[in-house]
Homo-oligomer: A and B are copies of this chain.
Amino acid sequence: MPSRTPIARTPIALVGLGPIGRSTLAYALFRPGLEVVAACDPKPDLAGTPLDKFVAGAPASIRVAPSLAEFGRLPKGTVAILCTQSHIPQVAATVEALVRARLPVVASCEELVFPQWRHPEWAAQIDALAREQGVAVLGTGVNPGYVLDLLPAILSGVALRVDALKLERVVDAATRRGPLQQKVGAGKSVEEFRAEAAAGRLGHVGLPESAALLCEVLRFGRPRITEKLEPVVAKAAIETPFVQVAAGRVAGLDHRLVAESPAGRIEITLQMALGAADPHDLIELVGEPPLKLRIEGGTPGDLATVAALLNAAPAMPALKPGLRHVLDGPFPICRARA
């Protein structure tokens, strides 16, 4: 077996120190192949904070910069890990600034997993800019980024024909972070849920991105996508460290998507609710041969998103410059020494 030359540490600049950013910081410390060299968050109460205030053992010599401009000089080969918002308009300026600074960007931004779907013009612009600057930009995570797009595509690798994919993810939101419990509507009345859902303030971001990415890589053709968002109502009172839910109020959401393409169909069901029974991920491939893949208990969203970011980071400098997606990026692999 050929031995590989040891891989130098990848310097990491963290952009965003919310729950996912802090978790990324914590786990980056234990990865021999990574070294956090800078961090940035525009929140006024975070500026100047030494990193060891977030995570014991993080370098106290590094303080949170209030803006990218105040990062100072970064080591050659630094990769930016962006963990801020879910929507392209919220992250566009930051991604552009990082690319102009010639930093490869790997991000947890849900819409960045396949920005071609909702923001095709911006996607084309950032692709051109990233090529020009010679760096790659990649959105990744668990959902979107893995369970409902990458994994079904990989399952198709042992199929001769794919007619449809039926994807299902059931998450017990009680096991997840506070912001996610709020995002699924836990604690609201059914009327509040419906009003906020109608206003686009509730619901999971990323299902159309997963479906459109699948239609792209499977060469199904451009899909027509419809979505439906319903509340899951608590049958009994539920309490978590973050929220109290009385019986009859909302425990979470049931989000369905259908993508109809000229060459195939994709159906997604996402349930995220406090106390959801039998959490799991299920991928059913309708085709030849039919295939059924199940992840027992489901892929744990928060940890696995951090893993996806940290596993991708060392590969970013060698990626082909431009806007990449998880199915033309590096194989997602956790390397013991990277």
A117 within 8 Å of B (CB atoms): yes
- Chain B: which residue is nearest A156 at the CB level? B334
- Chain B: which residue is nearest A299 at the CB level? B158
| A154 vs B4: C-alpha distance when bound (angstroms) | 20
How many residues of A are in contact with the other chain, CB < 8 A?
63
Establish whether residues B336 and A157, one from each chain, have CB atoms under 8 Å apart when the complex forms.
no
A146 within 8 Å of B (CB atoms): yes
A333 within 8 Å of B (CB atoms): yes
Residues in chain B near residue A1, CB distance under 8 A: 116-117, 120, 212, 215-216, 222
How far apart are A83's CB and chain B's nearest CB, in angstroms?
Answer: 15
Among B3, B27, B153, B292, which residue has its beta carbon within 8 angstroms of that of A333? Answer: B153
- In residues 112-153 of chain A, which contact B (Cβ within 8 Å)? 116-117, 120, 124, 142, 146, 150-151, 153
Residues in chain B near residue A72, CB distance under 8 A: none
Residues in chain B near residue A288, CB distance under 8 A: 303
Q: Which stretch, A44-52, A226-234, A305-313, touches the partner chain B?
A: A305-313
Among B120, B150, B264, B289, which residue has its beta carbon within 8 angstroms of that of A336? Answer: B264
A338 within 8 Å of B (CB atoms): yes
Q: Which stretch, A159-167, A185-193, A244-252, A271-279, touches the partner chain B?
A: A159-167
- In residues 275-297 of chain A, which contact B (Cβ within 8 Å)? 287-289, 291-297
Residues in chain B near residue A333, CB distance under 8 A: 153-154, 156-157, 217-218, 327
Copies in the complex: 2
**How would residues 189 to 219 of chain A score, 1 for a CB under 8 Å from any chain B CB and 0 otherwise?**
0000000000000000000000010011111
How far apart are A321's CB and chain B's nearest CB, in angstroms?
Answer: 16
How far apart are A173's CB and chain B's nearest CB, in angstroms?
Answer: 17
A77 within 8 Å of B (CB atoms): no
In the complex, besides A153-B331, A219-B338, A288-B303, 9 extra interface pairs with C-beta distance below 8 angstroms are A1-B117, A2-B120, A151-B154, A156-B334, A157-B308, A217-B331, A263-B336, A291-B295, A292-B295
Q: Can you report 13 residue pairs joining A to B where beta carbons are below 8 Å apart?
A: A2-B120, A142-B158, A150-B154, A154-B154, A156-B332, A157-B307, A157-B334, A158-B307, A217-B335, A289-B304, A289-B307, A293-B296, A294-B296
Residues in A lying within 8 Å of B, measured CB to CB: 1-4, 27, 30, 116-117, 120, 124, 142, 146, 150-151, 153-154, 156-162, 212, 215-222, 263-264, 287-289, 291-297, 299-300, 303-304, 306-308, 310-311, 327-328, 331-338
